[in-house]
């Protein structure tokens, strides 16, 4: 760790009960406790949240751009996963 | 309502106002960007609290004054805040040590004021206790981190505590105002607050690997309008516009 | 791993995303110049927010009422928050906040030149909210459609939060304009001093702006400097009329044919001088940031030292 360089933390906030935590931004902090308090002060000062997660950015594994084609395109032709694919009598409201 | 009741609420308002004014000095100048934001949040809580308390004090006084009259057109001798609130901000160790000592004081005070016989004060305390619980958690974190951080931060934190220690006894003095408020179940006994406060502070100072300073003198006077020289400068800045252009709307 | 995509494939895909008005995201391939252009613009934007705390911060201690003090403090705090959002967004491009901050402190990176003008009276706080934030909003609303995802998202959030900034400034001006003679004079004086620097905020004329054209092509910028400046003038004239204050420009008049206001020539020499360091507050602004940074170093060192000693987290580990 470079002297005085704080790790980057990603911040996720649950807007209100019933909703998922959503990525809202990031910040720098020396430890989880400080990150949590800074997240509270930075990202919920307009009542944007009822719960916060902070995650060290380096702990997040992301899919790679180079893999996009092999990762995501094969889902393209699986149209039968979607309800609109099927023809059933409309009046039954299936 | 009595004069003592007015002064009791006024003192609470003055503490919030003067400390809040000091905290705003960090805005744009604090050691971390995250801290600019966090410190401003706490300062906003203090300014908000000052507004509630000074409005209520003005109401108790019954002379038609407003929160702004009390904040901006009283002279040094009429302010009744603790001296500890008005001391210059110093370095970040001094600032956070002072916050912690006062947050802890306010935490115990507001906890008691929630059950005050004065319903307005009780309502203000219910709001303030939520804010203060967070403030204290935060400033305690800072005392621990700077106390148990580097050699330099440890030294600075110890120096900060030494520098303000002589002003702490004033927080727990009991004068006729307090005696009457205790009798009327408006406010708690400062001595009781003192024991709670001391236990918390000692534990934190120990955990922060610091030592509890020795008290050489007890410096006080703020509650009777006898202030440090820093106070006049704070007020001349804070009151500048209202003094230059008396009686206007802003 | 086989390199499945040639350079041109990547470039084509990038171009197609831009063309389709979709967003470029952090891990996407992007031309190096696109990345550098973004880093420059976003860090400059972030620095502007952070330095922008200072001129208004100059009046928090002197705010005339407790209500105004709270509003101004909340407003200046927002600027710090916006700086943080923007640094965060810029960091997704592989540049650290320290690097960006360092470029600011050594005078390499720029920030909005308007903040090098002094706030001399309380009316300046009103004028900044009304004019400077008003101009910033015109620019930032346009940037909500910028092609880089994290920048666009930061802009959306910032625009939402800034909506009160301009209104609080205008309210200050309104109270002054309706107040005592001294207050009205104060308001007019502030408008006189802030009007032209505000018009300069939109940057050089389109014909003079080299960065601008490339940025438009990449959809980093969505509207040109002159378009945005015109939009600002058009919307501000009636706001000044409503206050009963006079915009300090004798050439300002409605042009029926264009459907816009014509306005007088901008003093680009003054602009260049202030950008290069010749404003009344250039030195003071940078000095304040350097001081905060230098005096903050021991604090940062202490926090890191503590974190290393106490690696166990007190925060509940749940998800």
CB contact (8 A) between residue A30 and residue C4? no
Please report residues of B whose CB lies closer than 8 A to that of A42: 34, 37-38
Q: β-pairing, A21-28 with A51-56?
A: unpaired
Measured in degrees and rounded to the nearest 5, phi and psi for residue C148 equal: -90, 120
Q: What is the pLDDT of residue A1?
A: 40
The verdict on pTM exceeding 0.90 is yes
- pLDDT tens sequence across B131-157: 999 999 999 999 999 999 999 999 999
- What is the 3-class SS of A24-41, one letter each residue? EEEEECCCHHHHHHHHHH
Torsion, Cα C117 C123 C125 C128, to 10 degrees, reads -60
Chain C touched by A42 (CB under 8 Å): yes
In the predicted structure, residue C2 carries a pLDDT above the cut 50:
no
Contact at 8 Å (CB) between C119 and C55? yes
Q: Rounded distance, CA C290 to CA B222, Å?
A: 36
Query: How big is chain B, counted in residues?
Result: 250
Q: What is the pLDDT of residue C12?
A: 92
Mutate to test the interface with B, among A8, A37, A40 (most CBs of B within 10 A): A37
**Which DSSP letter does residue C55 get?**
H
Q: Rounded distance, CA C150 to CA A59, Å?
A: 19
ipTM above 0.95, yes or no: yes
* Strands laid side by side in the A8-14 sheet: A21-28, A8-14, A51-56
Q: Rounded distance, CA B156 to CA B143, Å?
A: 11
**B110-122: average pLDDT:** 98
pLDDT grade, residue C312 (50/70/90)? low
Mutate to test the interface with A, among C29, C86, C307, C309 (most CBs of A within 10 A): C307
In the predicted structure, residue A3 carries a pLDDT above the cut 60:
no
In the predicted structure, residue A2 carries a pLDDT above the cut 50:
no
Q: b vs e for C195-223, b when ≥16 Cβ sit within 10 Å of the residue's Cβ?
A: bbbbbbbbbbeeeebeebeebeebbbbbb
Q: What is the pLDDT of residue C319?
A: 52
Using CB atoms, pick whichever of C85, C306, C314 lies closest to residue A30: C306
CB contact (8 A) between residue B40 and residue C76? yes
**C299-313: average pLDDT:** 89
Q: Rounded distance, CA B161 to CA B146, Å?
A: 12
Q: What is the pLDDT of residue A80?
A: 86
Nearest C-alpha of chain A: how many angstroms from B17? 21
CB contact (8 A) between residue C302 and residue B150? yes
């Amino acid at each position: 760790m470079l002297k005085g360089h704080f790790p980057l933390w990603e911040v996720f906030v649950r807007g209100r009960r019933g909703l998922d935590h959503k990525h809202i931004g990031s910040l720098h902090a020396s430890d989880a406790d400080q990150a949590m308090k800074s997240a509270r002060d930075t990202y919920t000062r307009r009542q944007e949240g009822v719960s916060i997660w902070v995650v060290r950015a380096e702990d997040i594994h992301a899919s790679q751009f180079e893999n996009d084609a092999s990762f995501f395109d094969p889902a393209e032709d699986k149209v039968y996963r979607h309800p609109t694919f099927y023809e059933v009598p409309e009046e039954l409201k299936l | 309502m009595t004069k003592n009741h007015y002064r009791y609420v006024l003192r609470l308002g003055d503490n919030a106002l003067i400390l809040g004014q000091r905290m705003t000095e960090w805005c744009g100048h604090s050691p971390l960007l995250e801290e600019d934001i966090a410190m401003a949040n706490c300062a906003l809580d203090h300014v908000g609290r000052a507004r509630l308390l000074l409005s209520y004090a003005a109401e108790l006084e019954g002379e038609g004054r407003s929160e702004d009259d009390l904040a901006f057109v009283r002279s040094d001798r009429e302010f009744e805040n603790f001296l500890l609130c008005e001391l210059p901000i110093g370095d970040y160790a001094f600032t956070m040590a002072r916050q912690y000592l006062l947050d802890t004081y306010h935490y115990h005070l507001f906890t008691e004021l929630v059950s005050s016989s004065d319903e307005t004060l009780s309502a203000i305390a219910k709001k303030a206790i939520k804010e203060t619980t967070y403030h204290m958690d935060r400033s305690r974190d800072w005392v621990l981190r700077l106390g148990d951080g580097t050699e330099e931060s440890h030294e600075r934190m110890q120096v900060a505590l030494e520098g303000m220690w002589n002003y702490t006894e004033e927080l727990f003095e009991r004068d006729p105002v307090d005696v009457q408020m205790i009798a009327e179940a408006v406010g708690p006994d400062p001595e009781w607050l003192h024991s709670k406060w001391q236990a918390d502070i000692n534990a934190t100072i120990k955990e922060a690997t610091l030592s509890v300073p020795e008290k050489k003198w007890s410096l006080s006077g703020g509650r009777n309008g006898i202030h440090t020289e820093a106070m006049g400068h704070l007020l001349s800045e804070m009151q500048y516009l209202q003094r230059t252009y008396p009686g206007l709307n802003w | 791993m086989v390199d499945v995509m040639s350079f041109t494939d990547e470039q084509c895909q990038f171009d197609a995303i831009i063309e389709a008005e979709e967003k470029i995201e952090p891990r996407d391939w992007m031309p190096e110049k696109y990345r550098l252009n973004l880093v420059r613009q976003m860090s400059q934007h972030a620095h502007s927010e952070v330095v922008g705390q200072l001129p208004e911060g100059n009046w928090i201690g002197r705010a005339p009422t407790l209500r105004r003090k709270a509003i101004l403090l909340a407003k200046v705090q927002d600027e710090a928050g916006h700086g943080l959002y923007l640094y965060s967004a810029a960091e997704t491009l592989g540049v650290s906040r320290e690097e960006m901050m360092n470029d600011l402190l050594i005078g390499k990176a720029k920030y909005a030149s308007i903040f090098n003008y002094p706030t001399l009276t309380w009316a300046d706080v009103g004028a900044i909210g009304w004019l400077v934030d008003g101009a910033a909003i015109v620019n930032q609303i346009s940037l909500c459609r910028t092609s880089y995802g994290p920048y666009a998202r930061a802009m959306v959030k910032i625009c939402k939060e800034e909506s009160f900034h301009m209104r609080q400034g205008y309210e200050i001006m309104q109270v002054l304009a309706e107040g005592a003679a001294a207050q009205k004079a104060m308001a007019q004086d502030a408008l006189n001093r802030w009007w032209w620097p505000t018009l300069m905020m939109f940057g050089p004329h389109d014909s003079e702006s080299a960065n601008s054209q490339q940025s438009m092509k990449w959809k980093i910028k969505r509207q040109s400097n002159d378009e945005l400046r015109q939009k600002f003038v058009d919307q501000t004239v009636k706001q000044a009329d409503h206050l009963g204050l006079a915009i300090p420009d004798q050439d300002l008049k409605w042009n029926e044919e264009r459907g816009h206001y014509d306005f007088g020539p901008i003093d680009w020499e003054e602009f260049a001088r202030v950008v290069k360091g010749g404003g009344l507050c250039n030195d003071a602004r940078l000095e304040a940031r350097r001081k905060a940074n230098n005096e903050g170093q021991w604090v940062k060192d202490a926090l890191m030292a503590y974190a290393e000693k106490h690696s166990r987290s007190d925060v509940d580990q749940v998800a």
